[in-house]
Structure 1
């Protein structure tokens, strides 16, 4: 299986990446398919190989707004890391998507068995979460802030 030398798993050491890849499988989603719903059980995560996926947020009485669009090389799903393992967003394929799918329970077990791998994987996911938080912050400020974009290089 081809490894993901770039993207969210790039920081993993080769032996850790090889072990993690043992828990992956290639999956395909047609355009328009729902990958998961907000509040649903977060039991998988994906590295997108091709295509794009919209993340959305449920707001009662309104159409679900797009939070972010993810593409090739990006991690889809981090809610599997934190109890109660429920999705914080919904996800829908915008185009045909090819991805590596990981079984969250098996990966959590691997992390318990190999704390160094778990540490590296959590740091990689934390970086994704931090980047998405910055992006969401910027989008919110663009929507609700003064008539100029705010960019922050710090925390």
Structure 2
């Protein structure tokens, strides 16, 4: 069982409410692609229901699933950090209902409201650190030679 990433509920209430003011309800069918690796990150999502998989292109190996995101989890991290290019792909594993956010609008508020910006950067940074660890473990599971002594 993996440790849980920080969910939107970890944002302080006043900042979470400001963020949610930007939310639009969206729906994805199973198999819909939310974004592709190296695509410009114009939007991000918070999962309400269903599951979204993150994948990474591995030359000669296809695009293995790195992580599965569920209720309350953030889909998309690259919208906050220049050059705003997606570092993975994302696909609806099941039918998904989500909150969708305009990245430019949220970044603008982050710049003009220091408290909000600090809270959002801390939240997304915490998720980024978690995802790096999950990705490392997953790639070791997929590609480390069995019996190599490499421990996750």
- TM-score above 0.5, yes or no: yes
Q: Distance in 2 between matches of 1:145 and 1:81?
A: 36
Q: Distance in 2 between matches of 1:86 and 1:38?
A: 8
Aligned residue for 2:49?
Answer: 50
Q: Distance in 1 between matches of 2:42 and 2:30?
A: 22
Q: Distance in 1 between matches of 2:30 and 2:69?
A: 14
Aligned residue for 1:116?
Answer: 115
Aligned residue for 2:127?
Answer: 128
Aligned residue for 2:151?
Answer: 150
- TM-superposed CA distance for 1:136, in Å, is 1.5
Q: Distance in 2 between matches of 1:138 and 1:84?
A: 26
Q: Distance in 2 between matches of 1:77 and 1:142?
A: 23
State the SS of the aligned residue for 1:10: helix
Q: TM-score, normalised by structure 2?
A: 0.87
- Mark the runs of 5 or more structure 1 residues left unpaired by the alignment: 1-6
| Greater than 4 Å deviation, 4+ residue runs | none
Aligned residue for 1:22?
Answer: 21
- Mark the runs of 5 or more structure 2 residues left unpaired by the alignment: 1-5
Aligned residue for 1:87?
Answer: 86
- TM-superposed CA distance for 1:38, in Å, is 0.6
Q: TM-score, normalised by structure 1?
A: 0.85
Aligned residue for 1:4?
Answer: none
Contact between 2:9 and 2:72, CA under 8 Å: does it hold in 1? no
Contact between 1:57 and 1:67, CA under 8 Å: does it hold in 2? yes
Contact between 1:9 and 1:121, CA under 8 Å: does it hold in 2? no
Q: Are residue 104 (structure 1) and residue 103 (structure 2) matched?
A: yes
